[in-house]
């Protein structure tokens, strides 16, 4: 028993404002230390109530008193051993359901208590109204007060309630369990009564309840000295469990929850928006069983319009700056250093600037993609997307959880493969990792943008959307085949998902997300892509005849690059892109998908710099003026394209023909900025073979890093299956598109 001043303890769940209330009660009269032998912080303070000196102890926040954690043990031991005169049970008034389980457990300890309904202002704002009197009646008459610790509201009432509790006028709280359980408690409590040393420490009813619940902490503490008592508890518990048909511990917990449910019904009313939240209203449409999927697809369509078309003016602008002024400046500098026309100039302009610059051009595309994803993620929609697609996955016999790694695959295949660790069965992990490679990662997007913009103009977004859909379809078909032919088994158990409320995305969060991902992209451009660009340039400069006198003087077809590509090229002829250059581009894509764009720039746009250099002499001032002017143009065109998403989306509906904004002619701007690369590509590809090429890029072997991740996660054999399967599917897909297109008269020329 505590001597000297009275001690009161604050107990409650974490984040209920317990410490704020403690501060409000004790002011600056605080001492902070650790609980004996523990690293858990112990806060103690002093206050006075009616001239009485009171010690206030802030117990660690816990969810129960089941002794599962250090905090729970500290809180329980303090209440039992230190015997505070009063316990203030602090609950979050807006979330009473989540706090009453612990409150019940504390009240069952039979220590005088006060219930503080803290943060009651927040509860009122959310339309949650509590009836303290009804609550008090349900909890055995303990004083119940509403408080707002942060503003010191309700402190006087709380102090008055503490005094009432100190007077000991209320009866100990006894939750009424099932009659059979009550009989068991009574029998065991009677036996406990025979041990006065136990009843001196523990309330007999509480100890009986804990022993019947088989509380590990209490049982371990008493097992050695009181084996007969523990044995009796086990026998009683077993008899009750056999009669009632379940474990006694579960039955007791269950009756606590039933009790909490009845307390909530009797003392809590919800008004206004608290009945159905705005998020729930939105979810009735967005996660609707039938409409949810078409709405998801429509939203994705808008995302790809946004990504491909809105970013296009800035892609052209960066392209213009890199292939124009920057290349000219580099050439001028190298000429000034006496290296003009040498292999060094070729390496810098045709190799490094064309390769790395060709990739950096797509920063706007990825910025807009990640902006769209960040907005969807921050708003809370992404969680819904996973939820909606779970149903589709199940229809196809796949595990619902597989969608989440697949969703991640739209960003990058590598983390998608690691994300399969959340799946419990190895076969699900392997299968999902296998399918994740068909989700079109961010690195593939620039390739689509190049071909879609060049061959389909304003309809580029449609092709890109179709490619993303194709990836999903191929993944689902593959999954369905594998699940039904290779991995037959029981359907997976469902899950319950906690959908976060919708909220307005914050600018800082969105910008942080974009910055992080773009930084990574730029980092890759200056490491992997730079290295690959140099290697590709070297292969294109080295003559296949090994005659070093022809170094950097040979055509692509006579270079090592041409020789290697020429071996693979015939295999792609049925798909409409059997040129060695195209084959070489695809071979380079094994390393990383971004390399494809770098290689395309080097092969098809390699002479642009030279031409720009020789045909358009200009001063530094001219260049800077041009950069600023074209930036302004790009900004206007971006706004125009953003506005045009609306009419373009609406015009998909039959009978709708809304006009599009046309401040500046987009085609003229594009033509001005497009260089020899576009001309070379239109000569090398037809619209049909371009589509076949992008289909191949979508489906074929993921990058080297993804294959490494696959080897680490699933083994070499599985990785090799992946290489062979994806290459085969990509080839079949590209050939089917090209040959099918020819059959339909879509033309190869």
Partner 1 sequence: MTPTLREVLNYFEKQSRALSLTDLARELHIEPALLQEMIGYWVRKGKLRQVGADSCGSCGCSAGCPLPTTLPRRYELATDNLPTGVGFCPRSGS
In angstroms, give the least distance from the CB of 576 to partner 1.
Answer: 32
By CB atoms closer than 10 A (0-12, 13-18, 19+), residue 69 is middle
In angstroms, give the least distance from the CB of 601 to partner 1.
Answer: 24
Nearest-angstrom CA–CA distance, 227 and 221: 11
For partner 1, the closer of residues 121 and 254 by Cβ is 254
Using CA atoms, how far residue 54 sits from 9, 109, 170, 304, in Å, is 10, 21, 20, 65
In angstroms, give the least distance from the CB of 383 to partner 1.
Answer: 4
| Three-state SS at 466 | helix
In angstroms, give the least distance from the CB of 408 to partner 1.
Answer: 6
In angstroms, give the least distance from the CB of 66 to partner 1.
Answer: 7
For partner 1, the closer of residues 152 and 415 by Cβ is 415
Cβ atoms of residues 114 and 140 within 8 Å? no
For partner 1, the closer of residues 66 and 699 by Cβ is 66
For partner 1, the closer of residues 454 and 592 by Cβ is 592
Nearest-angstrom CA–CA distance, 463 and 411: 19
**Residue 130 corresponds to which tokens in the numbers above?**
């509590």
Nearest-angstrom CA–CA distance, 608 and 105: 78
DSSP 8-state secondary structure symbol assigned to residue 703:
-
Q: How many Å is the Cα radius of gyration of the chain?
A: 35
In angstroms, give the least distance from the CB of 79 to partner 1.
Answer: 20
In angstroms, give the least distance from the CB of 76 to partner 1.
Answer: 15
By CB atoms closer than 10 A (0-12, 13-18, 19+), residue 409 is buried
Q: What is the DSSP string of 621-666?
A: HHHHHHHHHHHHHHHHHHHHHHHHHHHHHHTTSTT--PPPP-SS-H
For partner 1, the closer of residues 72 and 350 by Cβ is 72
For partner 1, the closer of residues 60 and 380 by Cβ is 380
For partner 1, the closer of residues 519 and 527 by Cβ is 519
For partner 1, the closer of residues 246 and 611 by Cβ is 246
In angstroms, give the least distance from the CB of 265 to partner 1.
Answer: 9
For partner 1, the closer of residues 176 and 496 by Cβ is 496
Nearest-angstrom CA–CA distance, 361 and 675: 13
Site residues (vs partner 1, CB under 8 A): 63-64, 66, 68, 95, 97-98, 101, 246, 250, 253-254, 257-258, 260-262, 264, 280, 283, 287, 370, 373, 377, 382-383, 386-387, 390-391, 394, 400-401, 404, 407-408, 410-412, 414-415, 418-419, 421-422, 424, 491, 493-500, 512, 515-517, 519-520, 709
Nearest-angstrom CA–CA distance, 461 and 231: 73
**Residue 495 corresponds to which tokens in the numbers above?**
């899950």
In angstroms, give the least distance from the CB of 717 to partner 1.
Answer: 22
SS3 annotation, 85-102 = CEEEEEEEHHHHHHHHHH
């Amino acid at each position: 028993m505590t001597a000297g001043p009275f001690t009161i303890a604050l107990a409650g769940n974490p984040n209920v404002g317990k410490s704020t209330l403690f501060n409000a009660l004790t002011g600056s009269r605080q001492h902070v230390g650790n609980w004996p032998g523990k690293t858990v912080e112990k806060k103690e303070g002093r206050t006075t109530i009616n001239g009485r000196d009171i010690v206030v102890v802030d117990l660690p926040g816990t969810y129960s008193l089941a002794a599962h954690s250090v905090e729970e043990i500290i809180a329980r031991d303090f209440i039992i051993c230190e015997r505070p005169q009063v316990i203030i049970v602090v609950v979050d008034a807006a979330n009473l359901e989540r706090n009453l389980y612990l409150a019940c457990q504390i009240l069952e300890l039979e220590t005088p208590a006060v219930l503080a309904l803290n943060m009651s202002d927040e509860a009122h704002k959310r339309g949650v109204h509590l009836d303290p009197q009804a609550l008090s009646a349900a909890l055995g008459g303990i004083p119940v007060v509403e408080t707002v610790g942060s503003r010191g509201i309700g402190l006087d009432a709380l102090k008055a309630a503490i005094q009432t509790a100190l007077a000991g006028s209320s009866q100990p709280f006894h939750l009424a369990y099932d009659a059979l359980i009550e009989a068991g408690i009574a029998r065991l409590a009677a036996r406990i009564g025979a041990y006065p040393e136990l009843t001196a420490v523990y309330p007999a009813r509480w100890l009986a309840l804990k022993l019947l619940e088989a509380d590990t902490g209490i049982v371990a503490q008493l097992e050695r000295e009181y084996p007969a008592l523990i044995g009796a508890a086990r026998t009683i518990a077993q008899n009750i469990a056999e009669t009632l048909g379940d474990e006694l511990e579960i039955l007791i917990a269950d009756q606590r929850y039933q009790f909490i449910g009845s307390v909530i019904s009797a003392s809590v009313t919800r008004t206004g928006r608290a009945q159905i939240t705005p998020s729930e209203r939105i979810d009735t449409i967005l996660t609707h069983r039938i409409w949810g999927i078409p709405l998801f697809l429509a939203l994705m369509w808008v995302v790809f319009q946004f990504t491909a078309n809105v970013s296009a003016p800035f892609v052209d602008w960066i392209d213009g700056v890199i292939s124009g002024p920057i290349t000219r400046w580099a050439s001028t500098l190298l000429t000034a250093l006496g290296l003009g026309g040498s292999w060094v100039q070729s390496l810098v302009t045709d190799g490094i600037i064309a390769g790395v610059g060709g990739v950096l051009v797509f920063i706007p595309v990825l910025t807009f993609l990640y902006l769209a994803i960040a907005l969807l993620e921050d708003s809370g929609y992404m969680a819904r997307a996973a939820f909606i697609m779970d149903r589709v996955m199940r229809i196809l016999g796949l595990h619902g959880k597989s969608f989440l790694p697949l969703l991640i695959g739209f960003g990058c295949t590598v983390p998608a493969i690691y994300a399969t660790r959340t799946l419990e069965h190895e076969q699900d992990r392997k299968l999902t990792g296998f399918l994740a490679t068909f989700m079109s990662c961010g690195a593939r997007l620039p390739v689509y943008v190049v071909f879609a913009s060049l061959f389909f103009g304003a309809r580029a977004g449609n092709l890109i959307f179709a490619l993303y859909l194709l990836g999903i379809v191929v993944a689902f078909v593959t999954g369905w085949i594998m699940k039904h032919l290779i991995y037959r088994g029981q359907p997976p158990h469902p899950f319950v998902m906690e959908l976060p409320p919708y909220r307005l995305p914050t600018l800082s969060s969105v910008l942080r997300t974009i910055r992080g991902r773009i930084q990574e992209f730029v980092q890759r451009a200056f490491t992997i892509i730079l290295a690959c660009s140099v290697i590709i340039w070297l292969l294109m400069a080295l003559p296949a005849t090994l005659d070093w006198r022809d170094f950097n003087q040979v055509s692509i077809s006579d270079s090592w690059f041409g020789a290697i590509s020429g071996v693979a090229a015939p295999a792609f002829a049925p798909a409409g892109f059997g040129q060695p250059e195209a084959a070489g581009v695809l071979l380079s894509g094994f390393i990383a998908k971004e390399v494809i764009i770098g290689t395309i720039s080097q092969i098809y746009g390699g002479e642009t710099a030279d031409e720009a250099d020789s045909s358009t002499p200009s001063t530094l001032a001219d260049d800077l003026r041009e950069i600023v002017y074209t930036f302004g143009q790009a900004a206007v065109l971006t706004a125009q394209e953003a506005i045009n998403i609306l009419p373009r989306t609406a015009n998909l509906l039959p009978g709708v023909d809304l006009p599009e904004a046309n401040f500046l002619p987009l085609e003229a701007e594009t033509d001005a900025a497009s260089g020899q690369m576009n001309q070379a590509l239109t000569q090398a590809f037809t619209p049909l073979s371009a589509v076949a090429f992008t289909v191949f890029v979508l489906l074929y072997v993921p990058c080297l890093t993804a294959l490494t991740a696959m080897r680490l996660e699933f083994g070499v054999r599985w990785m090799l299956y992946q290489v062979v399967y994806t290459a085969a599917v990509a080839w079949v897909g590209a050939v089917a598109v090209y040959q099918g297109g020819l059959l339909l008269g879509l033309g190869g020329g």
